[in-house]
Amino acid sequence: MSTVDPWISPGLQTNDLKALYEISRLVTSGESLRPIIDQLIRLARSIFIFDNIAMFTKQTEEILEPIFARAIGRGRWLEADLTWGETVAKEVYITGQFTSRIEALPGNEQDRNLLRYYLGLPVYISGSMGGVLVFTRFGGPPYLEDQIELANRLAFHLAQLIEYRRLNDRLTRLEERCKLGDMQEDFISMISHDLRTPLGLIKGYATTLLRGDAAWDGKTRHEFLMIINEEADRLQEMIDHLMDSSRLQAGTLSMNMQKVCLDHLIREFVKQALIRDAKIALSLEIKETNNWVQADSARIGQVFDNLLSNAVKYAPGSPIIIELGQENMMARVVVRDFGPGIPPEHMENIFRRFYRLPGHDVHIRGVGLGLYICRQIIHAHHGEISVISQPGQGAVFQILLPLDHQA
Ligand code: ADP
């Protein structure tokens, strides 16, 4: 009667080839690394018996770091220990040759777990020694020649997997850098265009006023100086927006939170806005009073300012209504205009950095940062800002801020 020894693999069988084929297919699949390694180990175990597998990769010239270890078979009752086979790994790394050795740990001689048969194989990544693969069998038996060949094939596939992943990561990083580079170029050309416009006007009018060969009457001088003044304000606003936006990105925009009465803040805001520009048809409706919130009043004022100047800019001549009320324990501020409104497909995007609706009149200036900054400020107050709009029927911006109950 012949007995079949399960440890001995009589050359490569069809099933071995199938498993190896499946392994090489896995290596180039787009799945993430961990599940692939798990599947790879499962497939490897179907053609080659082992209790533990550990992979070490080269971190620097001298340092080998374990990147994974799995205990299977008998070893699964023990905790997979990353240090199993570490000495074997170091030896293989130094010699560049596979090694097979037995380690007998002190303790009960009957305990098979203390008798470890190691097989260490070099893993060549991109043509040079990049790591070591170590198999462990508890209590034997020793590794036979054709098993070592199978193990070598597994090491080769693992090396391919690591190489493929590294290349993929490098490619992703490169793509990201290119994208960032493109974005930076777009950004620089957009910003320089937007900064140049007011700067050009300031320079042009100032040079004109300074010409020695022309005598300007008082009215013209005043008109030119007004333009210079307005354009300088615009420039200042753009630079402030850019600074705020980069501080928000870096998380360094500080907030000075205090207990604030929104009724008072908004009344004062409307009063000042009408003093600055008496022509705007701005009205205030306070539906509920005593709206106390925790806020940085300067930053919240900046949000109202931005919503109001957008309404003036994008809905010229339209009445603008600011409402203050409450909704679900939140203070609710609404800025409503009756201008062209915002098409539904753009409604969420307008809160993104540098997003502007296409096709604006060239005279309507802006860089698309105002609403992004508003949303970040409102989020820093644990509130929400949103827009509702029907094209042609105006835009309604709503801000919700948590009421301060201790008021
Ligand atoms: P900017 O005004 O500098 O372009 P914002 O971030 O303040 O940037 O606004 C983003 C875009 O949202 C604007 O470019 C405009 O297309 C649109 N928008 C903002 N407010 C209104 C409004 N009240 N009515 C119509 N469109 C608006």
Ligand 1 and 394: CB distance under 6 A: no
Q: Which two three-digit tokens encode residue 282? A: 């701005």
CB atoms within 10 A of CB 33: 13
Residue 350 has pLDDT above 90, yes or no: yes
DSSP symbols for 268-297:
HHHHHHHHH-TTS-EEEEESS---EEEE-H
Atom of ligand 1 nearest to the CA of 335: 23
Work out which ligand 1 atom sits closest to the CA atom of 355. Answer: 10
Percentage of the chain lying above the pLDDT 70 cut = 91
- Burial of 116 from C-beta contacts in 10 A (0-12 / 13-18 / 19+): buried
Determine if ligand 1 sits within 6 Å of the CB of residue 350.
yes
**Cα 104 to Cα 115: distance, rounded to the nearest angstrom:** 5
Ligand 1 atom nearest residue 373's Cα: 6
pLDDT band per the 50, 70, 90 thresholds, residue 234 = confident
From atom 11 of ligand 1, which residue's Cα is the shortest distance away? 356
Q: CA-CA distances (angstroms) from residue 236 to 48, 73, 227, 229, 233?
A: 71, 70, 14, 11, 5
Of the candidate ranges 52-56, 80-84, 95-99, 328-332, the one whose mean pLDDT is the lowest: 80-84
Using the atom order of ligand 1, give the atom closest to the CA of residue 356: 14
Q: Which residue has the higher pLDDT, 238 or 78?
A: 238
pTM: 0.57
Nearest-CA residue for ligand 1 atom 16 is 357
CA of 202 to the centre of ligand 1 (A): 25
Mean pLDDT calculated for residue range 205-233: 90
User: Averaged over 392-407, what is the pLDDT?
Assistant: 90
For the chain, what is the mean pLDDT? 85
Binned at pLDDT 50, 70 and 90, residue 1 comes out as: very low
Identify which has the larger pLDDT, 168 or 278.
278
pLDDT digits (tens, 9 = 90+) for 11-42: 556 677 777 777 777 766 666 677 888 888 88
Instruction: Cis check for the bond before 340: say yes or no (omega within 30 of 0).
Output: no
For the Cβ of 371 lying below 6 angstroms from any atom of ligand 1, the answer is yes
DSSP, res 254: -
CA geometry: angle 301, 305, 309, nearest 5 deg: 175
Q: How confident is residue 2, by pLDDT bands cut at 50, 70 and 90? A: very low
What pLDDT does residue 4 have?
36
Range of weakest confidence among 43-47, 110-114, 288-292, 321-325: 110-114
First and final C-alpha spacing in the chain: 93
Task: Determine contact, residues 241/302, Cβ cutoff 8 Å.
Answer: no
Query: What confidence category does residue 229 fall into, taking pLDDT thresholds of 50, 70 and 90?
Result: very high
- Would you say the CB of residue 311 lies under 6 angstroms from ligand 1? yes
Q: How far is the CA of 89 from the centre of ligand 1 (A)?
A: 62
Please give the average per-residue pLDDT across 393-405, as a whole number. 95
What integer pLDDT is reported at residue 75 of this predicted model? 55
Any atom of ligand 1 within 6 Å of the Cβ of 303: no
Of all protein residues, the one whose alpha carbon is nearest to atom 19 of ligand 1 is 310
Tell how far the Cα of 359 is from the centroid of ligand 1, in angstroms: 12
| Test site for ligand 1: of 308, 314, 376, most ligand atoms within 8 A of the Cβ | 314
Give pLDDT, residue 12. Answer: 53
Q: Average the pLDDT over 289-304 and give the result.
A: 96
Any atom of ligand 1 within 6 Å of the Cβ of 367: yes
Ligand 1 centroid to residue 316 C-alpha, Å = 13
The minimum-distance atom of ligand 1 relative to the CA of 369 is: 6
Of 371, 390, 399, the residue with max ligand 1 atoms within 8 A of its CB, to mutate for a pocket test, comes to 371
**CA 365 – ligand 1 centroid, Å:** 10
Query: Does residue 356's CB lie within 6 angstroms of at least one atom of ligand 1?
Result: yes
159 pLDDT tier (thresholds 50, 70, 90): confident
Nearest ligand 1 atom to the CA of 360 is: 16
CB 65 within 8 A of CB 51: no
CB atoms within 10 A of CB 345: 7
For ligand 1, mutation pick of 240, 356, 360 (most atoms within 8 Å of CB):
356
Verify whether ligand 1 is closer than 6 Å to residue 314 (CB atom). yes
> What is the arithmetic mean of pLDDT over 278-296?
96
Of all protein residues, the one whose alpha carbon is nearest to atom 20 of ligand 1 is 310
For the segment 135-158, the average pLDDT, to the nearest whole number, is 87
Condensed to tens digits (0 to 9), the pLDDT of residues 90-138 reads: 999 999 999 999 988 787 777 777 788 999 999 988 788 888 999 999 8
Asked whether residue 83 carries a pLDDT value surpassing 80, the answer given is no
Asked which of 1-5, 36-40, 160-164, 346-350 is least confident by mean pLDDT, the reply is 1-5
